[in-house]
Amino acid sequence: MSTLITSSFGYRTTAREATGGKDLSGRRMIVTGAASGIGVETARALALAGAEVTIAARDLAKAQEVADAINAQAGAKRVSIGRLDLADLASVRAFASSWSGPLHVLVNNAGVMASPLMRTAQGFEMQIGANHLGHFALAKGLSGALEAGAKGGKPARIVSLSSIGHRRSDILWDDPHFRNGGYDKWVSYGQSKTANALFAVGATQKWKDRGILGNAVMPGGILTPLQRHLSKEEQIGFGWIDENGVPNPRMKTTEEGASTSVWAAVGDELEGVGGKYLENCAEAGPWTEAEPWSGVLPYALNPESAERLWAWSEKEIAAT
């Protein structure tokens, strides 16, 4: 096994620290779902380091509030907004087609977790539909802009937000949309997070010759609106909070949770590197039962599965 990639950062590194003091002036970046949660801190850290950041989100009012706050902090207009609903491919295509000029970094940050059975506008199961297929279509639509961004000398980067939740399920090839019943919100979430990791592998395989590389990120445990579908009792059961709603000390702040995304976007250690699964600002090792909340399972980085998922995803988005 090759040596894992590491950095000088770690578990408690913040997003702003993870920029490493870089001047990102002239770099254009998109962060999906950055109207709340760790996306806000991802966008903030990149913009305060000089990048031109577009927040792509469903709620334009909330996105504008975030953009205005970051711009005021930066003392310059570095953040703009665009409407993007990942659960509707028409919205995804409209956003991608409206983009002009090069793109250097795409952070596929938005996501839904453990939702009841819902369907996207195209009839996909919501979690794999929004978390994976929406982002897949977005990256496909922006691949020309990413290729243009790579012409500046450095590969363009795609950061795909996965999760330790990928351990709950490989891709359910026979019925990924649960059309035959048997829906389980955690199996569905696990499948979508496996898909996010496999997408990073697939994007690197497909697009490295175009100067586009992808890596997957496990941000860690953070209390954000991502938990909107979970009851207090469920969160207590998982050990995320106590009876009084106080977070487990192991939980990260939003600033800490955004650090690996930022490192994946700009870290020198990842220059020319793709197809990796990252956590705590380092490449993750194999998952083990002894350390169940970290590491990556082999099926989430399997190149054959990545190829199969890519072909399936292309068929899914082309059929709508």
Task: Write out the catalytic residue numbers.
Answer: 189
Q: Across the beta sheet with 156-161, what order do the strands follow?
A: 79-83, 52-57, 28-32, 105-108, 156-161, 212-218, 277-279, 282-283
Decide if 303 contacts 274 (C-beta within 8 A). Answer: no
Question: Torsion over CA of 303, 160, 53 and 6, rounded to 10 degrees?
Answer: -80
Non-local (6+) Cβ contacts of 144 within 8 A are none
The token duo for 23 is 């001047």
CA angle 191, 192, 195 (to 5 degrees): 90
- Cβ neighbours of residue 213 closer than 8 Å, sequence gap 6 or more: 155, 156, 157, 158, 203, 204, 207, 272, 273, 274, 275
- Cα of 92 vs its chain's centroid, Å: 16
Query: Which helix (H) or strand (E) is 51 found in, with range?
Result: none
State the Cα–Cα distance between residues 308 and 320, nearest whole angstrom: 19
Indicate the SS3 state at residue 317. Answer: helix
Contacts of 6 (CB under 8 A, 6+ apart): 269, 282, 283
Q: Which two tokens stand for residue 113?
A: 């977790």
SS3 205: helix
Backbone angles phi, psi at 212, to 5 degrees: -120, 125
| CB-CB contact of 195 with 171 (8 Å) | yes
Question: The tokens 């990413």 sit on which residue?
Answer: 146
